[in-house]
Amino acid sequence: MIWINCVGTRGAVVASTALFIFLTACGRSANAPGAAPPPAASRPDVTVTFDGKRRKCVVALPSEAHGSSISCADVVPFVKDELRLPSGAAYDIRKIPDVDEAEVTRVRADLNGAGYRFVGAAQ
């Protein structure tokens, strides 16, 4: 009788351990290749709004309510020198109607060339 109780207890411990190992092995590791980036990575560090009516760009950090209105040709130097955002920072593009799409393409290429990453969906 005592031997049966020991086997029963040992079996329960082995089964519990096996179940724990099995459940922890399920799913992906957070560091696995192809794992989704954390949600914070999808938020832009700076937003560039193309104002078609005024033919200007408004560059704003997330903490700024209005941003700075500058020439669209000066976006990259402004982001680098004034805002001091490092290469690799994320940006988003927004548009106010009647935007010159060639200018948007040019600024986007300049930002990408400077090492900034586009994370938003152009409006």
- DSSP β-ladder status, 56-60 and 46-51: antiparallel
Residue 107 phi, psi (nearest 5): -65, -40
Q: Please check whether residue 51 is in contact with residue 32, taking contact to mean a CB–CB distance below 8 angstroms.
A: no
Give me the pLDDT at residue 19, please: 45
Residue carrying the six token digits 């179940």: 19
CA distances from residue 95 to 7, 17, 119 in whole angstroms, order as listed: 72, 57, 15
Q: What is the dihedral of CA 67, 98, 112, 73, to 10 degrees?
A: -70
Domains for the chain: give ranges and CATH numbers.
39-118 (3.30.420.270)
Q: Is the pLDDT of residue 99 over 60?
A: yes
The predicted model scores a pTM of: 0.65
Q: pLDDT band for position 120 (50/70/90)? A: confident
